[in-house]
Amino acid sequence: MIRDKAPLIHLYKRANAEMNHSLNHIEQAELAAHIHYWGFMPQHFDNTEHKHSFFEACYVMAGHGSYIEDDIQYELEPGTIFLSRPGKLHHIKSQKGLSLCYVAFEPEESACSEMYRQSFELLAEQGTPVIHETAMQPTSLLWDSLIALFEPGKSYPLLALQSTAVSLIISILVAHAPKLPIESDNTKKTNEGAAIVHQAELFIKDNLSEPLTLLRVASHQHITPRHLTRLFSKYRHQSFVHYVQEQRVQKAKDLLLNTDRQIKEIAAVCGFESVHYFTRVFTAKLGVTPARFRRSQFTEGRFDSSP
């Protein structure tokens, strides 16, 4: 969303004060960066040619001008994002002024994963300086979101600023780097398969009292029963039926130990078709009938459901 300069001036002032005071470092599990400064400027005119030892990423909210890097001139207009890379001579020109948001940052290599270290090296060496027509792209939308956090009458916790800032830095990396050494296709497929199994497990655990056929659970995941069977074999090293039975028995153990419900009721709650079938499966799994399991556990003073 591209806005006029005037309504943004008070937001710029507040954003400058709060961001530079409270957010000079970001850190996640694989990524950490030092923030040298944040900038929210209603009107930015010409500056002299200079260079940095860090990255400086900018977003044009309004106005027109030029960005010059290594004697190459790029036009700037609303919605443009541009990036000054370490060691690159550059400067900005604008006769009527640009409304700019910018952040200067430097990745902390010792706290970044190998993937992010490689990505920032690639960004410094081959990053695209200027990208046009990004108003509906993640980087521009995140800048707009960051500005929106400072709207009058709103007060967001620091975590909201931190989360948005981390996403912004990553979006800048993705937008300007030519190609990131992120996950391979095989890794993505592995993660997708594991996610499907995890979702299926949650569905099973939340619906144990219902009939849980392979077809029903597979349909809920929008995959074929055959594919779900393969996924359970690959990621859980057991069949779908065996997993469902284990979950039913585990819930039954908990109810036997921690409630005074009748065994017939427990069988129904855990999805067994009959008390006879419940007793047969339970006994096959644990080597003891449900009634004897309940008596023996209380006799021994055990009140937990751990196997």
Is pLDDT above 80 for 87?
Answer: yes
Q: What's 11's domain CATH number?
A: 2.60.120.10
Mean predicted confidence (pLDDT) in 184-206: 81
Which DSSP letter does residue 92 get?
E
Q: How many whole angstroms separate alpha carbon 211 and alpha carbon 299?
A: 34
Is pLDDT above 80 for 203?
Answer: yes
Answer yes or no: do 192 and 154 share one domain: no
Model pLDDT, residue 179:
74
Tokens representing 82 are 């541009």
Q: Are 67 and 102 in contact (CB under 8 A)?
A: no
Torsion of the alpha carbons at 142, 144, 146 and 149, rounded to the nearest 10: -140
Q: How many whole angstroms separate alpha carbon 307 and alpha carbon 300?
A: 14
**Torsions phi, psi for 265 (to 5 deg):** -70, -40
Answer yes or no: do 199 and 250 share one domain: yes
CA angle, residues 38, 44, 47, in degrees to nearest 5: 95
Model pLDDT, residue 306:
43
Q: What's 275's domain CATH number?
A: 1.10.10.60
Residue whose entry in the numeric block shows the structure tokens 């199994």: 197
Q: Give me the domain span that covers residue 268.
A: 187-299
Answer yes or no: do 201 and 150 share one domain: no
Answer yes or no: do 80 and 171 share one domain: yes
Percent of the chain with pLDDT over 70: 91
Answer yes or no: do 220 and 158 share one domain: no
**Local structure of 276: helix, strand or coil:** helix
Average model confidence (pLDDT) across the chain: 89
pLDDT band, very low/low/confident/very high, at 153 (cuts 50, 70, 90): confident
Total-model pTM: 0.67
Answer yes or no: do 207 and 80 share one domain: no
Answer yes or no: do 155 and 228 share one domain: no
Answer yes or no: do 196 and 55 share one domain: no
Model pLDDT, residue 302:
47
pLDDT band, very low/low/confident/very high, at 188 (cuts 50, 70, 90): low
Model pLDDT, residue 300:
54
Percent of the chain with pLDDT over 90: 78
Answer yes or no: do 43 and 166 share one domain: yes
Answer yes or no: do 130 and 154 share one domain: yes
